[in-house]
Amino acid sequence: MTASVDMATCLLCDPAAADRHFTRARVWEDELWRLSVVLQGPVPGFAHLEPKRHIPYLTDLDGAEAATLGAVLARVTAALRDAAAADKTYVYVFGDHVAHLHFNVAPHRPGDALVGGPGLLRPDAAEADPAEHRAVADAVTLLLG
């Protein structure tokens, strides 16, 4: 059963407001999807991939978004991996706080704050340098442009 959400109150349906709220920069979009890189926190290149159309949860994914998801995920995860000089890119979905489908995409480098499993981040993880966040966001823009 699809949750009933008023799109007028959905933060991700207003991408400019979401970018401000999460301190992120939109680095790529096509007619169906957009990718924004978060410019703070311990993981440079941490990003949100979300459909432009209001789709509450992964279980509600249908139509053109469903048909293009694999190719879009492959493209943006490769770009984030390369831009952040990472070994791999994690993708995960949690939908408890914002009822608009979004994929959390996190490049991972050995020794960084990502530890996998419960918690995802080391408890002692330090904030990464804002310039590094911006450099990765700019690199993704070039790679996906």
Contacts for 141 with CB less than 8 Å, ≥ 6 apart: 27, 28
The confidence band for 4, taking pLDDT boundaries of 50, 70 and 90, is very low
Task: Tell me the pLDDT band of 9, cut-offs 50, 70 and 90.
Answer: confident
DSSP H/E element including 50: strand 47-51
Measured CA to CA, the distance from residue 71 to residue 77 in angstroms comes to 10
Tell me the pLDDT tens digit for each residue of 57-79: 999 999 999 999 999 999 999 99
Task: Give the pair of three-digit tokens for residue 31.
Answer: 């007619």
Distance CA 87, CA 7 (A): 37
The fold of 7-144 is HIT family, subunit A (3.30.428)
- pTM score of the predicted model: 0.82
Q: Is the pLDDT of residue 5 over 60?
A: no
**Angle at alpha carbon of residue 134, lines to 129 and 139, rounded to 5°:** 130
Q: Which of 98, 108, 47 is nearest to 76 (CA)?
A: 47
Cα 102 versus chain centre, distance: 7
